[in-house]
Chains A and B, each alone.
Chain A
């Protein structure tokens, strides 16, 4: 199962940091997302695009988390040579992560 089946996301950028929200469509899936998607798993997902570290912030009343990825390769929107200078496409790659089966 892919993350995108139960959650949505938007990328934001500031300097050489990118944030990825992760919002459950149904709040009852929040606990499952919280258990499965950690700062470490997000850091590993984006290891080829950012040196890290990754911070995770939790907003249970919204069924949401916010991940902040530090040290984006290329140094941010004004100086990167990347086509997607803002990193706006990252949310789609995020949502393509596999979600482990529930026990």
Chain B
């Protein structure tokens, strides 16, 4: 039976690059997929594009492509990625530039059309999007629909060496190569559901090969320092075997696979995707041998015809300041500093969502779930949102002012302010999007 080998080159924008190079060189792959976009990432990319029309694609694209293109060209591995983020065409041009500089001849397909901001503004993106736009108005800066796998497959059909998208659904990046390789059709829901399973397991990179799993003494993972990225070997019936390169660190086990299987899934019988509603509820996980796991039992039902879209909108500025206290009574001094900051900030109108954390005490899970130990050092974190940038910047300035105006012995103050782009999810009819594939050739 025909099989296809797909490796994951990245599970998020900031992911490690060396394991991808290793996969490109030694993975005996057909495809290498880089998943680099999250809700938060696309919002930040849209902001970068607004500030610079040539920016807005993945900030690590240049480094990543430069590292993997030579091996991919040599071994014939084709690349699929959503590194286009908010500016896929610019990402394609940059990839072509890198290929040319490396002396490589590549056919690059850029898929656009996920950007539906104009349709949202014109009220052509369905009632949910229209209602949101009526509410937010010109605070809305972006709207991107999650596109499916078929345009990616079509670009591969036409011979693309590299396919670059913007906001595609994460599993679709992996399903594109499967649809291309096996000729699956849009109405073959069971096969598509199995393709989603493969994509979902591979999309987060090392999260299925022992990354984000270790809990020393409880869940040990060998050689996590050199954790390898996953390989999915898929047959034409959609059956999948997950493994990793020999000699890499990490672990592929029923437990690591089960954690990833449910990651970011809500109802396992209805995992909504642009091409199909996948059903993971009957999936079985079987160990073939060490670090080789077979999965079966995924299925799917007809897609809804609606696509999830992320609408990005300006949501003010988040100001933050931090300062440390150490030695005896550190916690009490930090608490006093926090009370002072809160009182000083509350004298101004216009702060929203003010938050005071004691890092090392209650800053992650809150008072109820944090246990009360008294550490020898603690870091105060003060943060608040304001619509006015100067007001947001004042948060950090007030924290720095603790040096001369706060409790004894504070040190290492830092301040930062950033614009917040919030994301609101809406469902839009798939007829809203019109996808266009553009071709760039290098050299």
Contact = CB atoms under 8 A, between A and B. Distances in A.
Given A10-B212, A48-B369, A81 B385 contact: yes
Of A8, A78, A89, chain B has the most CB atoms within 10 Å of the CB of A78
**Secondary structure class of chain B's binding surface, majority of residues:** mixed
Interface of B: 38-40, 43, 207, 212-213, 215, 218-219, 255, 258-269, 280-285, 297, 312, 315, 318, 353, 355, 357, 359, 363-369, 381, 383-385, 420-423, 425
B262 A64 contact: yes
Contact of A83 (B261, B263, B297, B357): B357
Interface string A4-27: 100011101111010101010100
B260 A10 contact: yes
Contacts of A62: 258, 261, 283-285
A19 B280 CA distance: 15
Contacts of A31: none
26 contacts: A14-B39, A19-B263, A21-B258, A23-B259, A23-B262, A25-B255, A49-B366, A55-B267, A59-B281, A59-B283, A61-B284, A61-B297, A62-B284, A64-B262, A66-B266, A66-B268, A74-B353, A77-B39, A78-B39, A78-B420, A78-B423, A79-B420, A82-B364, A83-B363, A83-B364, A84-B364
Contact of A48 (B218, B297, B366, B383): B366
Of A13, A47, A82, chain B has the most CB atoms within 10 Å of the CB of A82
B355 A82 contact: yes
A81 B318 contact: yes
Given A4-B218, A57-B269, A59-B281, 4 more contacts: A14-B266, A45-B369, A78-B420, A81-B355
A48 B367 contact: yes
Given A14-B264, A57-B268, A93-B365, A78 B40 contact: yes
A78 B368 contact: no
A83 to B, nearest CB: 5
A61 B353 CA distance: 43
